[in-house]
Chain A
Amino acid sequence: MPQAQQTAQAAQTMIGQANPTAIMFFVLFVLITLGITWWAAKRTRTTKDFYAAGRSITGFQNGLALAGDYMSAASFLGIAGLVSTKGYDGLIYSVGWLVGWPIVMFLISEPLRNLGKYTFADVVAYRLNQRPIRAAAAAGSLVVVLTYLIAQMVGAGTLIKLMFGLPFELAIVITGALMISYVLFGGMIATTWVQIIKAVLLLGGATLLVILTLGKLNFSYVNLFNQAATATPLGQKFLEPGGLVTSPVDAFSLGLALMFGTAGLPHILMRFYTVPDAKAARKSVFVATGFIGYFYILTVTIGFGAAVLVGQKVIMGIDAGGNMAGPLLAEALGGNLFLGFLSAVAFATILAVVSGLTLAGASAFSHDLFVGVIRRGQASEKDEVKVAKIATVGLGATAILLGILFKGQNVAFLVGLTFAIAASANFPALLMSITWKKFTTAGAVTSIYTGLIVAVILLILSPTVWVDIVHKSEAAAVAKQVKTIEDATKAKIADIEKQRVGGLNAAKVAEIDAAIAAVKKDAEPQIKTAKEQMPKAIFPLKNPGIYSMAAAFLIGILVSLMAPDKAAEAKFEGEKLREYIGIGAED
């Protein structure tokens, strides 16, 4: 019966097969973006063009591009999937991804634009020793970029395989080759426009999907939720908080990483140099926050809509994680044409995000490592652009290789790691350098490395990696053993239950109840002993944010206070003037 059901479901959807409509839309997107890249290539001469699009992007355009950088395919498909399978918990999850943006605006955006040139290391190194700072900041940037890139690449391969029926490796190679072309030839100008086009397509597609969904429900959210409350086996619980937040400390730690991690993502920070001034920088965050918030509300609606109009059984039959909830809903409401369009948009989304990451990684390599560390600040523009282009190809190839290497691995933890490192290695040093007069070179360097190392080590020792990945087989064995005991107990109870036939006297009923209770009591210690064998994480929290961030701030402060740097303190006045007024800011 389940077999028959599955084939029936598979017959209803085009997902997982080569879809000509999707391929047509995707080829169209690729042609347009390559056209833009060709146009951008003619305008990309100097480092300012390559890293910062000549600072010619308006605040509104940059807001769209920032939103594009942040709205990944994983968040579009993943959050809709989480909502369609877990309900309210998916909504909680989506909120966490937005709250970092106001922090970026209040603390970072304007000082960053006023003080820096191309990378956030410019700001940290403003009045400190260039070489050690740039080496440390480049390390922080490159680790963040690479972990995020692997997560995106592996996700891309899996999603494209699901949606287009392309082999995993081919999907990764196509993604990598296009991403390298955009960045290599069109630099930041092409990357920005790819990002803007993708953001418009994604927001437009999601809006249309929501309109079609609500159209089926009399344009009433109340109606949507009423139906959602009866559509799943969870019933009313579908609209209540479930198991996502069980440990407050864990939730707090993840929340900190998400909030301050956004303000430490190199590909986001780099965008603030593409606008003409601090005023445009701040406007772009307002625009980005609005679009990203709107996007999450759409995505959550799509998730609930899919649970109601498609049904959990079908969604989870295609992909257990629910990742295909959005595309399935599109197919149900708009047929193959809309499914094809949305699949192409998801592919475009992946491409745009990895391009932004590659450019950020290449700039950390060329601007910070090559010019700042190796050439001690002395390099011609021509050399710098050349190195940036070599780094682009190198990073792209690395991303393709790692993507294929990590095939089939659970890489979800990498996204958490990315935000934890960004919040611990990059954000504290950045914040202290713009606000604290007594911050020193040694303080900044030790803070960055501490944040980086503590975040990585604690994550390896956390349940996310230590139990779910390192001791995966042991954990599975214990789970299997527990299940065996539970199944045996259930069978025994079912056996006893058989005696319960109509017309029994009270004594007999009590006897049966007692027998069942005895079986249950018997099983309890067995299950307990079995569960004690479960591998335990050395570090208890799933996300290390709270400790790694605290360590980075603490070390940065202590080291700075122990060995004051009078020269750096003296330069603080000039920094302050430029930070607040924008005098001397790069134009």
Chain B
Amino acid sequence: MSSKKKTVHEILEDEDFTSLSGQKNSISIILTVLELVLYFGFIALIAFNKPFLAQKIVGEGATTIGIPIAVGTILLSWVLTGVYIFWANSKYDSLVKKVKEKIEG
């Protein structure tokens, strides 16, 4: 029991694991903050600067600038999940594999 516990502790101290968990935490926090800024930025625009969103886009008739901004918020949210997937598939998975190999010896 105690030897197993020590192994877990050792793995957690291992620089491969700290780099893996550190990167995962940073990516998660950065992307979460970006999403918060994106959505609440949009809400703040509506609350504090309605005339900006009500402007017509030049050359597009009646379409207001608020329409692409709202649709853009939806699309960008999806793109952010794509960024995470891209990072996780290309880096995280290989780091996990590396640490797993160390544990299994």
Which of A's residues lie within 8 Å of B, judged by CB? Answer: 88, 91-92, 94-96, 98-99, 101-103, 105-107, 221-222, 225-226, 228-230, 236, 239-241, 244-245, 247-248, 251-252, 255, 259, 279, 282-283, 285-286, 289-290, 293, 296-297, 300, 573-574, 576-577, 580-583
- Which residues of chain B are within 8 angstroms of A230 by Cβ–Cβ distance? 62
Smallest distance from the beta carbon of A288 to chain B beta carbons, Å? 9
Q: Is the CB of B66 within 8 A of A105?
A: no
Q: Is the CB of B96 within 8 A of A240?
A: no
Query: Which 3 residue pairs across A and B have the least CB separation, nearest first?
Result: A229-B62, A240-B54, A248-B47
- Which residues of chain B are within 8 angstroms of A574 by Cβ–Cβ distance? 8
Smallest distance from the beta carbon of B15 to chain A beta carbons, Å? 14
Q: Is the CB of B81 within 8 A of A286?
A: yes
Q: Is the CB of B62 within 8 A of A226?
A: yes
C-alpha gap A577/B7 in the complex (Å): 11
Residue of B nearest to A301 (CB): B71
- Which residues of chain A are within 8 angstroms of B35 by Cβ–Cβ distance? 99, 102-103, 106, 259
22 A–B pairs (Cβ distance < 8 Å), ordered by A: A88-B53, A91-B67, A92-B46, A94-B74, A96-B39, A102-B78, A102-B84, A105-B81, A222-B60, A225-B63, A226-B62, A239-B63, A240-B50, A259-B35, A286-B84, A293-B78, A297-B74, A300-B71, A573-B5, A573-B9, A577-B11, A581-B100
- Which residues of chain A are within 8 angstroms of B64 by Cβ–Cβ distance? 88, 225, 239-240
C-alpha gap A228/B82 in the complex (Å): 33
Which of B's residues lie within 8 Å of A, judged by CB? Answer: 5, 8-9, 11-12, 17, 20-21, 24, 27-28, 31-32, 35-36, 38-40, 42-44, 46-48, 50, 53-54, 60-64, 66-67, 70-71, 73-75, 77-78, 80-82, 84-85, 88-89, 93, 96, 99-100, 103
Smallest distance from the beta carbon of A341 to chain B beta carbons, Å? 26
Q: Is the CB of B85 within 8 A of A293?
A: no
Q: Is the CB of B39 within 8 A of A259?
A: yes
- Which residues of chain B are within 8 angstroms of A576 by Cβ–Cβ distance? 12, 21
C-alpha gap A201/B61 in the complex (Å): 34
Q: Is the CB of B46 within 8 A of A289?
A: no
With A225-B63, A251-B43 as contacts: A286 and B85 at CB distance below 8 Å: yes
Smallest distance from the beta carbon of A105 to chain B beta carbons, Å? 5
Q: Is the CB of A293 within 8 A of B21?
A: no
Residue of B nearest to A304 (CB): B67
Q: Is the CB of A255 within 8 A of B40?
A: yes
User: Which listed residue, B28, B54, B80, B82, touches A241 by the CB 8 Å rule?
Assistant: B54
Q: Is the CB of A296 within 8 A of B39?
A: no
C-alpha gap A241/B66 in the complex (Å): 8
Residue of A nearest to B29 (CB): A106
C-alpha gap A297/B48 in the complex (Å): 25
Smallest distance from the beta carbon of B30 to chain A beta carbons, Å? 9
Most buried by A among B31, B80, B81, B96: B81
With A106-B28, A581-B99 as contacts: A91 and B70 at CB distance below 8 Å: yes
- Which residues of chain B are within 8 angstroms of A286 by Cβ–Cβ distance? 78, 81-82, 84-85
Residue of A nearest to B4 (CB): A574
Q: Is the CB of A577 within 8 A of B44?
A: no
Smallest distance from the beta carbon of A213 to chain B beta carbons, Å? 16
Q: Is the CB of A251 within 8 A of B47?
A: yes
With A255-B40, A574-B8 as contacts: A102 and B63 at CB distance below 8 Å: no
C-alpha gap A247/B84 in the complex (Å): 33
User: Which listed residue, B8, B50, B81, touches A573 by the CB 8 Å rule?
Assistant: B8
User: Which listed residue, B9, B28, B47, B67, touches A107 by the CB 8 Å rule?
Assistant: B28
- Which residues of chain B are within 8 angstroms of A229 by Cβ–Cβ distance? 61-62
C-alpha gap A102/B29 in the complex (Å): 12
User: Which listed residue, B9, B21, B54, B81, touches A580 by the CB 8 Å rule?
Assistant: B21
Residue of A nearest to B47 (CB): A248
Q: Is the CB of A573 within 8 A of B12?
A: yes
With A225-B67, A255-B40, A576-B12 as contacts: A241 and B46 at CB distance below 8 Å: yes
Q: Is the CB of A282 within 8 A of B84?
A: yes
Residue of A nearest to B63 (CB): A225
User: Which listed residue, B5, B24, B60, B77, touches A98 by the CB 8 Å rule?
Assistant: B77
- Which residues of chain A are within 8 angstroms of B50 by Cβ–Cβ distance? 240-241
C-alpha gap A320/B64 in the complex (Å): 27
Most buried by B among A241, A285, A289, A582: A241
- Which residues of chain A are within 8 angstroms of B53 by Cβ–Cβ distance? 88, 240-241
With A95-B74, A102-B80, A580-B96 as contacts: A283 and B85 at CB distance below 8 Å: yes
C-alpha gap A459/B10 in the complex (Å): 49
Smallest distance from the beta carbon of B6 to chain A beta carbons, Å? 10
User: Which listed residue, A225, A289, A577, touches B12 by the CB 8 Å rule?
Assistant: A577
C-alpha gap A248/B5 in the complex (Å): 51
Smallest distance from the beta carbon of B91 to chain A beta carbons, Å? 13
User: Which listed residue, A94, A245, A583, touches B100 by the CB 8 Å rule?
Assistant: A583
Q: Is the CB of A99 within 8 A of B100?
A: no
User: Which listed residue, A239, A244, A252, A573, touches B67 by the CB 8 Å rule?
Assistant: A239
Smallest distance from the beta carbon of A295 to chain B beta carbons, Å? 10
Smallest distance from the beta carbon of B10 to chain A beta carbons, Å? 10
C-alpha gap A225/B63 in the complex (Å): 6
Smallest distance from the beta carbon of A104 to chain B beta carbons, Å? 9
C-alpha gap A582/B103 in the complex (Å): 12
Residue of A nearest to B93 (CB): A279
Smallest distance from the beta carbon of B87 to chain A beta carbons, Å? 10
Q: Is the CB of B32 within 8 A of A106?
A: yes
- Which residues of chain A are within 8 angstroms of B82 by Cβ–Cβ distance? 286
With A222-B60, A240-B50, A255-B39 as contacts: A88 and B66 at CB distance below 8 Å: yes
Residue of B nearest to A574 (CB): B8
